[in-house]
Amino acid sequence: MKLAAVKGVTPVSTRSVEDTERELTKLIIDARGGEAAHDPGVALAARDAAELAHDNGAQLVAVLEHPDADPAVLVGMVVQADGPLGPDAADELRSYLEDGGADLREVTEASTERGYPVVIAERILVTDPLRTGPPTGCQLQAVVIEPGGRTLAVFTLHSLTGRGWLELSGILGSLLSTVDFR
């Protein structure tokens, strides 16, 4: 799978968990400002993202930035299906995700400029079920399907605050439009 460079997406090293964590932490602090260095949640989020990415064999770990948003972490990986993906693969995946739980806000389908089907699931995350305020984070998972092939490109975007979520989602959409399985 190939991806083009997209403004607002800064990839980090996947050499080791420590390198990924260090680079994520630096980019998030740079984006949020020096005060963020005192927020223990930044380092913790970077460590969690780095470990998750490495445990799952991610090929892409990046920070997404927009002037009107808090930074978010993007993890991307390529997954091989057991058999060829039929013409209904996107419908089947969408149905599966829609049955996947109450934390899903929306599941949609789209296609890239190259005609690859994309299934997008948006989650609003709340860590404390008794909390009545705004959500503590947002997550968007997008799966780009290689029609007739066996390859799925899976992207997970996570924002701890949700501030500027639409802008960040737009940057991810721009990146998804560049996916090329050839």
Regarding predicted confidence, which is higher, 93 or 160?
Answer: 93
> Residue 98 above 90 pLDDT?
no
Three-state secondary-structure class, residue 31: helix
Residue pLDDT, tens place only, 39-65: 888 888 899 999 999 999 999 999 999
Task: Give the N- to C-terminal CA distance of the chain in Å, as an integer.
Answer: 7
pLDDT of residue 9: 98
pLDDT of residue 10: 97
pLDDT of residue 129: 54
- Poorest-pLDDT segment among 20-24, 33-37, 103-107, 173-177: 103-107
Residue ranges of the domains in the chain? Answer: 58-176
| Mean pLDDT computed over every residue of the chain | 90
CATH architecture of 58-176: 3-Layer(aba) Sandwich (3.40)
Burial class (CB in 10 A: 0-12, 13-18, 19+), 134: exposed
Mean pLDDT score, 130-144: 74
Tokens of 172: 């991810």
Band (pLDDT 50/70/90 cuts) for residue 123 is confident
> Residue 128 above 70 pLDDT?
no
